[in-house]
Structure 1
Amino acid sequence: MKPEHPETTAPEDAEARRAVRPVICYPPDTLPVPDMARFRALRAGLAPIGEVLVPPREAACFRVPAGHVFRIQSVEGPQVGDLNLWNAGDLSERFYSGKTRALHGTHLSTGDRMWSSFPHLRPMATIIHDTLDWYGFDDFGGAVHDVIGTRCDPYTHNLLSHGGQYHHCCHSNLTRALAAETGLSLREAEAHVHDVLNVFMCTGFTRDTGQYFMKASPVRPGDYIEFFAEIDLLGALSACPGGDCSAQHSSDAAACHPLRVEILRPDPAALAGWAGPEPNGYDRSHGL
């Protein structure tokens, strides 16, 4: 627990130190800009080619060819989902939630990208439509689709419940789904499960203590978020055991619902001249 009062006396210039203006760590001005005009145009000609229904408190994998779109949709009731992405041909290239957060902020929406891990550091997927983009930041500092939460997991559950065993945390759900999809053992698959995009989840940090909070998701049946696959993708989505995360997660008490993942093919003409991103251009010499 944080002390109620600091143990160190504030220096005479404390207020002046606090008043220093912040500087954005990674100004986005020179980031590669997604072609949103192209994405808006290709959305008009999308044709469904596949669908996966993720059961409540479970996860499922799906594959998306480069140049295609996947849509995650609420279908029965308010439900959040934990999303992992990998390069379909190389599991070592995976979604890098921390760097995505540093480049785009704590929550993602239309025009933001999901970036991959080092040494690749390239766009894996671009968000091209989000029916919850109206939400913005609420009076509590909450917003939707965060890249700050890590995923509910059985290890933290065990720690906080003094030994409890719960196997439908999103971490375990994603592990089982990846193992089933790839033929890896559970232990091998677990090593590839990583920090997530919390789809539809409404979260933020408390202003007084800086603690990560969740609140009831504003998602309703019919809401969706769409992603353009910049490379061939293997995805896994967990329908979180917290349901809409209005009260708790990692339990069987919350009302939970399925999530639908649709794979959509654009008209090839809409992709004329498009090419997927190359891996990052850093030469990896590290100064030697």
Structure 2
Amino acid sequence: MTTETLAPAIVDNSEPAGVNNTLRAPISTDGTPELGKTYEVPARMGRAVRVAAGQTIRITNTHGTQVCDMWAFNVNSMNEFLSMEHFRAWVDRVNPQPGDAMVTNHRRPILTFKTDTSPGVHDTLIAPCDIHRYRTLGVEEYHDSCADNLRLALKAIGLRTREVPGSLNLWMNIPFDAQGGIQWQTTVSQPGDYVEFVAVMDCVVVMSSCPQDIIVINSNKPMPVHFTVF
């Protein structure tokens, strides 16, 4: 009888491919915000914030040209999170609108989409950028990514996600045609446009100022966005 030594099983996808200042600069130790204070999500980085049930988070496209990948997790059970595939089935649309319930992978509302001052062009189809995406675009060295910004922002406040869910890509302009073909275009939002979401349950919202600078979605120049909880 022989014994084989097997490599340890990879049990989750929580570890980033690299590190940036997202890990070192949370808004507070556990992500609790000062209500009414405006915080920055620096270009190419991420931030996580706790939003209690009944509170509102406003996310502002400060420069108008920036895509913000957004996630929301049930802070009491991180395995429950805002899910784009479940959301699309819930509303029978691909584009969120004010009044929509933003539902989780358990098909429960976690946020309510309250306000949108932009033209309303957002994306629920495209996966957050990651190290593998940049490899396919010809980047050989480490490149900041929305997937890593999610992992790092959560780790910075003592939380973790076992997987990187699909993100709600605020202001990302991905038109598609009747044949299902898509295009990658710049945003149509204006400086100062914002969206607001009301928390239905206690949650942690994570935002990434998308670091994509290889294709044109951020006008090839990632910029910061800002947020306020009230």
- Give TM-score, length-normalised by structure 1: 0.62
Is 1:85 the counterpart of 2:69? The answer is: no
1:58 to 28, 45, 53: 45
Provide the rounded CA distance (Å) in 1 between the counterparts of 2:64 and 2:100. 26
Answer yes or no: is the 8 Å Cα contact 1:86–1:235 preserved in 2.
Answer: yes
2:182 maps to a residue whose letter is: Y
Q: Answer whether contact 1:111 1:128 (CA < 8 A) is retained.
A: yes
Letter in 1 for 2:115: H
**Selected match of 1:109 from 97, 106, 115:** 97
Q: 1:145 aligns with which of 114, 122, 140?
A: 122
Q: Does 1:124 align with 2:124?
A: no
For residues 77 and 130 of structure 1, what CA distance do their matches in structure 2 show?
A: 13
Q: Which has the larger radius of gyration?
A: 1
User: Which residue among 212, 216, 226 is the counterpart of 1:247?
Assistant: 216
Partners of 2:129 and 2:212 within 8 A in 1: no
Q: Does residue 1:182 correspond to 2:182, yes or no?
A: no
Higher helix proportion: 1
Question: CA shift at 1:108, angstroms?
Answer: 0.6
Higher RCO by CA contacts (8 Å cutoff, separation 6 or greater): 2
Considering only aligned residues, what root-mean-square deviation do their CA atoms show, in Å? 2.4
Distance, in Å, in 1 between the alignment partners of 2:207 and 2:81 is: 14
Is contact 1:239-1:259 (8 Å) kept?
yes
Moved over 3 A (4+): 47-51
Question: What's the offset of the Cα at 1:211?
Answer: 3.0
Cα-to-partner distance string for 1:72-129 (whole Å, 9 max, x where unaligned): 00223421100011011110111111010122211112111210113xx210001111
Alignment of 1:1-288 (within 5 A): 48-104=35-91, 105-118=93-106, 121-132=107-118, 135=119, 144-161=121-138, 164-182=140-158, 184=160, 189=161, 191-208=162-179, 210-242=180-212, 247=216, 254-264=220-230
Asked whether the equivalents of residues 124 and 168 of structure 2 are also in contact (C-alpha less than 8 Å), the reply is yes
Q: How many residues align?
A: 196
Question: Taking every aligned residue pair, what percent have the same amino acid on both sides?
Answer: 30
Task: Report if aligned partners of 2:88, 2:94 keep a CA contact under 8 Å in 1.
Answer: yes
Tell me: CA distance 1:90–1:183, structure 2 relative to 1, closer, same or farther (3 Å).
closer
